[in-house]
Structure 1
């Protein structure tokens, strides 16, 4: 895994996007930590307050290299196969970066109102440190569901 994605495991939209990314990537480039996993955040020197500005992407090869919010979303898109072309086009269009940043902020700040809040925190099948289902502490995965 080359990158760690820190996401809101209680946000319906965030979880849906993580599940989409899990399916697209298949665990090749990304591992995931929910913002609710305080122990996991602590391993990377991240406090819960650090998560208020949105998702965080960390480069596993250089833990100091991080993106947050819409910048993290763009970097994830760039990393995906053929994504760099789309992200470059998006960034090249005048005003799109500014609009994308404002849209991200609105969705981030109103995500529970707009998309709802889960009753349980989602833990990814590609959670940090969860290399094999047998080693994962997610009981839903161990039962094969």
Structure 2
């Protein structure tokens, strides 16, 4: 089973998290496309307005199945080894899901102020379209 992670390639925090996932997964389960890659996103009818609501996770085998924002982060967590134990525990604590959603929204809406904006868009080694650009960092 594989998934597409749509991330903000200009956000320092987002890129750091993608690099972490790349190291853990090495392209076995997750492939990546930046929110700035409008041509790739168009194949799933994702607009720049859609991207304003945060990262997106798409089930590659059933593209109609998708998660966004904190739900996408939680689903990625569940897919990682032993991750579902942590996500299930987090969700079982009353009020944590609501608080986590609000926390995600604050980070999402202030990510450039809090973590900075990159000068160039990060392109993953494990990109969705297979035409990954050489020279990513």
TM normalised by structure 1 equals 0.91
Aligned ranges for residues 11-30 of structure 1 at < 5 Å?
A: 11-30=11-30
Aligned ranges for residues 1-145 of structure 1 at < 5 Å?
A: 2-130=2-130, 136-140=131-135
CA contact (8 A) 2:32 2:127 kept: yes
CA contact (8 A) 2:40 2:129 kept: no
Structure-2 separation of matches of 1:26 and 1:139: 16
Gap runs ≥5 in structure 1? 131-135
Distance 1:84 1:119, change over 3 A: same
For residues 85-117 of structure 1, give each alpha carbon's deviation from its aligned partner in whole angstroms, at most 9, with x where no partner exists: 110000001111011000000000000000000
- Higher radius of gyration, 1 or 2: 1
Structure-1 separation of matches of 2:3 and 2:113: 29
More helix by share: 1
TM normalised by structure 2 equals 0.96
Structure-2 separation of matches of 1:43 and 1:62: 13
Structure-2 separation of matches of 1:6 and 1:32: 6
Structure-2 separation of matches of 1:117 and 1:41: 21
Pairwise CA RMSD: 1.2
Q: Which runs of 4+ in 1 moved over 4 A?
A: none
CA contact (8 A) 2:7 2:33 kept: yes
Gap runs ≥5 in structure 2? none
Q: C-alpha displacement at 1:137, in angstroms?
A: 4.2
